[in-house]
A and B are shown apart, each in its own frame.
Chain A
Amino acid sequence: MSRLRDALERGEFVITGEIAPPRGADVSAMRKTMGLVGPLCHALNITDNQGASLHMSSLGACLVALEMGFEPIFQQTCRDRNRLALQSDLMAAWALGIENLLVVTGDDARSGDHPQAKGVFDIDSTHLLQIASGMNEGQDMQGRPLAGKTGFYLGAAMFPEAEPWDAQLARTVGKIEAGARFFQTQAVFDLDKLARAVDAVHAHGAKVIAGVLFLRSPRVIDFVNAHLAGLMVPEHVARRIRQAADPLEAAIDLAVEQVAAIREVADGVHVMPLGLDARVPEVLERAGVVPQR
């Protein structure tokens, strides 16, 4: 059984990390990152052509994680594949030992490094959850039986700070109805809004793992604001990093505070160190989050 599912269902505070597959065939740097972050986490999200930019497939990189003894969360975006390709990758993933699935719509191709690409978006993330739920029951999306069912622990993305909230909430509830058992969020800065989201999701029996970014420099903040979908670093946070004598240390302090705050509200924390992988153990420790595996 998925360690992530097990921990969340037992009410343990979980830690997930984010791993971007390499842009190329050399997995050595990714292995190094996995080696640093993996032992601290219940599971590692393996992104799927994140930011609509070319990377090794999530499926391939998930296998590297498995090989190293870490539990992957297989990400699938609806941008790059039609319903046939998505279903066949899901079957392969389960057969190869991948137990967690996170489905996302995906960034628009024109925001990535192949802006001329045709976005597929044959189905949306709610549909993909419905399909994966069906595959867990042993049938394809046409309702036809499969030779062997999957058993994915299904997750999706949600955005606690999104306004109008009713639109975001309706969409989130739709995803829970479609089979999502856990949600991961973009970095959250407003803890009241996070609490609002966690309450709403808990009311439907699902879990929330809240995101933290290590905003190590003003340049990173500008990048995040310009390029990361559904995310805007609030001015008071940006100012704190920008005006710090040592922005990097200020970012680490901020991350510690955020993890500690999330610890009080959500079911887990999703750590996005943006290159500061080596600082993850320290942040978790200072925030009082003891990785248990």
Chain B
Amino acid sequence: MIITRQREWQRVLDDLASVGARSVFVVGCGECATAAHTGGEPEVAEARERLSAAGFAVTGSTVPEVTCHAGGVKLEARKHAATIDAADAIVVLACGAGTQTVADAVAKPVFPGLESAFLGTVVRHGVFEERCQMCGECVLDATGGICPVTTCPKGLLNGPCGGMWDGMCDVVRDRPCVHVQIRERLAQQGRDVARTLPPKDHSKKLKPAKLSVRASGPSGSAR
């Protein structure tokens, strides 16, 4: 899921001030931001209180099922048309994709209330770790299911680098070197560990990616 964290609150207030907003509508997200405890019902309620305390009139709020779904968000916006209309600006407690989806759906200034941090795994309740950069050319088949692109701080495909010491990482020194971990896991599985991976094809990750899997249209391509 997309891991988000609370944006510096003063920055949100400054954004609202920049458009002279007096009234605000708040949008959360029922998926990732709910799981990350940054944009679920409790956090939206908390944001409403903070906004009120800062002198804003809160016209309403909603937590769509998934805020990065254009159709769903449009429906949601229609449902809340009156309270959105009454607001000078919208604050979105979702990832950047969710915030943009809301911005597409309403004719109001929309401001992010969160920072999109990374694509991660919930290691345990409330603890998240970055695990994938969505590089477009997955190497997990060769690396025992451990992503070096993301979990090696230098993103090296072939390691360990010269800083590895006693199996520990050069950069994040309290953590094992992922290349040592990869070798261990592959060895445990009796798999070939001596493979040098070729340079990454970064063209697979050219921005912005677009993909269509609709049967009717031309076949999609994720570039």
Instruction: Using known A-B contacts A229-B163, A230-B164, determine if residue A108 contacts B170 with beta carbons closer than 8 Å.
Output: yes
Instruction: Using known A-B contacts A83-B199, A162-B165, A174-B196, determine if residue A124 contacts B171 with beta carbons closer than 8 Å.
Output: no
Using CB atoms and an 8 Å cutoff, list the residues of chain A in contact with chain B. 79, 83, 104-108, 110-111, 119, 121-124, 126-127, 141, 157-159, 162-164, 166-168, 170-171, 173-174, 177-178, 186, 229-230, 232
Q: Which of A122, A157, A159, A171 interacts with B199 by CB under 8 Å?
A: A122
**Nearest chain B CB to A115 CB, angstrom units:** 11
Instruction: Using known A-B contacts A121-B154, A121-B155, determine if residue A163 contacts B167 with beta carbons closer than 8 Å.
Output: yes
Given A108-B163, A126-B158, A171-B158, 18 more contacts at CB 8 Å? A79-B154, A105-B154, A105-B156, A106-B154, A107-B163, A108-B153, A108-B154, A122-B200, A162-B165, A163-B166, A167-B159, A167-B164, A167-B180, A167-B183, A170-B183, A171-B159, A173-B194, A178-B196
**Nearest chain A CB to B64 CB, angstrom units:** 34
15 of the cross-chain contacts (CB-CB < 8 Å) are A104-B162, A108-B154, A119-B154, A126-B158, A158-B162, A162-B164, A167-B179, A170-B194, A171-B158, A174-B196, A229-B161, A230-B162, A230-B164, A230-B170, A232-B165
Q: Restricting to B148-199, which residues have a CB under 8 Å from any CB of A? A: 153-167, 170-171, 177, 179-180, 183, 193-194, 196, 198-199
Asked whether, in the complex, the Cβ of B171 is within 8 Å of the Cβ of A110, the reply is: yes
Give chain A residues whose Cβ lies under 8 Å from the Cβ of B171.
108, 110-111
The answer to the question of B202 belonging to the interface, with a C-beta cut-off of 8 Å to chain A, is: yes
Asked whether, in the complex, the Cβ of B158 is within 8 Å of the Cβ of A166, the reply is: no
Asked whether, in the complex, the Cβ of A105 is within 8 Å of the Cβ of B161, the reply is: yes
Nearest 6 CB-CB pairings of A with B = A229-B163, A108-B171, A230-B162, A105-B161, A123-B199, A174-B196
State the CA gap A123–B157 with chains docked (Å).
Answer: 8
Asked whether, in the complex, the Cβ of A177 is within 8 Å of the Cβ of B196, the reply is: yes
**Nearest chain A CB to B173 CB, angstrom units:** 10
State the CA gap A122–B200 with chains docked (Å).
Answer: 8
Asked whether, in the complex, the Cβ of B180 is within 8 Å of the Cβ of A157, the reply is: no
Q: Restricting to B89-129, which residues have a CB under 8 Å from any CB of A? A: none
Asked whether, in the complex, the Cβ of A121 is within 8 Å of the Cβ of B163, the reply is: no
